[in-house]
Amino acid sequence: MKNIYTLSLTVVISVLFFRCNDFLDVDVPTSQYNSELVFADKKTTNAALINLYADMREKGFVSGQMSAFPVSIGLYTDELDSYQINQVESQNLYNNTLQANSATVLQYWSQTYYQIYMANAIIEGCQNSKGLSTPDKNGFIGEALFVRALLHFYLVNTYGDIPYIKTTNYELNKSVFRLEKAKVYEQITQDLEVAIPLLSSQITLQRNRPNQVTAQALLARVELYKGNWLNAEKWASTVINTPSIEWQQDVNQEFLKENKSIIWQISPKQAGNYAYEGGTYYVATGPPTSIALTEVNTQFEPNDLRQKNWVREVTNGTSTWKHAYKYKQRTNSSSTTENSVVFRLAEQFLIRAEARLKQQNKVGALQDLNKIRSRAGLPAYIALTDEEFIESILLERQHEFFCEFGHRFFDLKRLNLIDQVLTPTKSNWKSYCQQWPIPEQEILKNSNLTQNTGY
């Protein structure tokens, strides 16, 4: 694969550690870092893991940056309109004209596999450590396994069949094959099932480190995507019933960092910094210069509190544009009010609603669906046909998770509705567009990698 797999473990660990955030209080030894030295100490191992999260915050699938995946996939589907007419990559995304040699296609692939490589380096370093206690080893390995599962989840739902990388061994990684999607899900599930008992059961006030509940939340999502309705309901219920996770009834407080419905969030680089999303989606005046919400993404039911609190309107006097306004802080100040929220409780209710529906438990499914609608200030559904139920769940997911980490794209794909929804609104949309091409550069380096149909 890409040259990230030619890096030695020592080099990777050096990168992991020397990218320390300013808020970390870690004394860096003057000697050169190697894996044995870093993983002999809890403090330095922790710093290496925190720097993996920092890398994820700055780029890739769970970053709130303008250049990161949530914006790109929003442009690619029907969430965001592009006003960056002179930026080729932005227009390729917006017009669904990605090619195998696209910089964007390679960017997310290489960034993510590098982050996976870092996670594997941490797993191997902890397993081989002679200085870490068993509880510390377990906790660090559990977090790295969760990260590895999460990143492969995003890759498989974007590119289709992908290699599942579980080692830093160059000889093994340089000639990997693509695994079928179902087998990738098996690997993700296995990583999460191993991670859960290793992870901490404690939910901290900051909620910025993955714990057992975080892995359970991802596992609920994975089981839903696999169509394993019983397990999807089981894991979603486990999260919902966790005492420290509490439902937030006020939509205007949903993204505040102290909100107890947050399952996992990523902190900004320094205390007082704002979450990137606060600036990325904000449009100060019209017309926008980068992105804005599409018309279809602002068609809420009357009196929906999410529209009132999560969408903002700007005008130049003759035209009007709308932008996502979930995050209100967009400048640095003395304190951070919002972190980047990756997992929150609302998703678990919608996962369970769909899983219950598929098991013919319409009463339970309606309860979960109406939990979301009630918080949005909307009337409860009384009775729905199966088709109406799925349409309603999809609509609630659209209004609940717009501009959040590709939910819209993934939902349309897994429900087999993506062609039906996007063909009328995206002039260049073809069915094969639901899988991005495998980067041409990767195929040239590894002949075992094959290209997706259409590219």
Where are the chain's structural domains?
A: 10-22+33-65+98-199+428-455
Nearest to 414 by CA among 231, 173, 153: 153
Q: Considering the chain, what percentage of its residues have pLDDT values greater than 90?
A: 88
**Both tokens assigned to 73:** 């996939």
Q: Which residues pair with 266 in a beta bridge?
A: 340
> What's the CA gap between 193 and 215, in Å, rounded?
8
- Residues 203-259 have pLDDT tens digits of 999 999 999 999 999 999 999 999 999 999 999 999 999 999 999 999 999 999 999
Angle of CA points 72, 75, 79, to nearest 5°: 120
Greatest C-alpha distance within the chain: 68
Residue 268 pLDDT more than 60? yes
The model's confidence at residue 77, banded by pLDDT at 50, 70 and 90, is: very high
Q: Which residue has the tokens 């007419």?
A: 85
> What's the CA gap between 63 and 71, in Å, rounded?
9
Residues contacting 72, CB < 8 A, separation 6+: 93, 104, 108
Residue 1 pLDDT more than 80? no
Chain mean pLDDT for the chain: 92
Angle between helices 134-159 and 103-127 (to 10 degrees): 160
Residue 174 pLDDT more than 90? no
Whether the CB-CB separation of 396 and 350 falls below 8 Å is answered with yes
Coil, helix or strand for 291?
strand
Q: Report yes or no on whether pTM surpasses 0.75.
A: yes
Residues contacting 345, CB < 8 A, separation 6+: 239, 240, 245, 246, 247, 248, 261, 262, 263
* pLDDT score at 7: 44
Whether the CB-CB separation of 105 and 99 falls below 8 Å is answered with yes
Whether the CB-CB separation of 442 and 449 falls below 8 Å is answered with yes
Count Cβ atoms below 10 Å from residue 224 Cβ, excluding itself.
Answer: 23
Amino acid at 64: G
Nearest to 164 by CA among 147, 144, 179, 150: 179
> What is the 8-class DSSP label of residue 302?
T
| Domain 10-22+33-65+98-199+428-455 CATH class label | mainly alpha
Whether the CB-CB separation of 406 and 70 falls below 8 Å is answered with yes
Residue 24 pLDDT more than 50? no
CA 404, chain centre distance (Å)? 8
Q: Considering the chain, what percentage of its residues have pLDDT values greater than 70?
A: 92
Residue 294 pLDDT more than 70? yes
CA dihedral (286, 250, 242, 43) positive or negative: positive
> What's the CA gap between 206 and 367, in Å, rounded?
30
Residue 201 phi/psi, 5-degree rounding, is: -90, -10
> What's the CA gap between 115 and 109, in Å, rounded?
10
* pLDDT score at 12: 52
Residue 11 pLDDT more than 90? no
Coil, helix or strand for 21?
coil
Query: Where is average pLDDT lowest: 32-46, 279-293, 396-410?
Result: 32-46
* pLDDT score at 36: 72
Whole-number Cα distances in Å, 188 to 58, 173, 435: 23, 18, 19
Whether the CB-CB separation of 129 and 41 falls below 8 Å is answered with no
* pLDDT score at 22: 35
- Residues 297-350 have pLDDT tens digits of 889 999 999 999 999 999 999 999 999 999 999 999 999 999 999 999 999 999
* pLDDT score at 5: 44
Residue 192 pLDDT more than 50? yes
Coil, helix or strand for 375?
helix
**Both tokens assigned to 385:** 């046909």
**Both tokens assigned to 61:** 């699938």
Whether the CB-CB separation of 177 and 163 falls below 8 Å is answered with yes
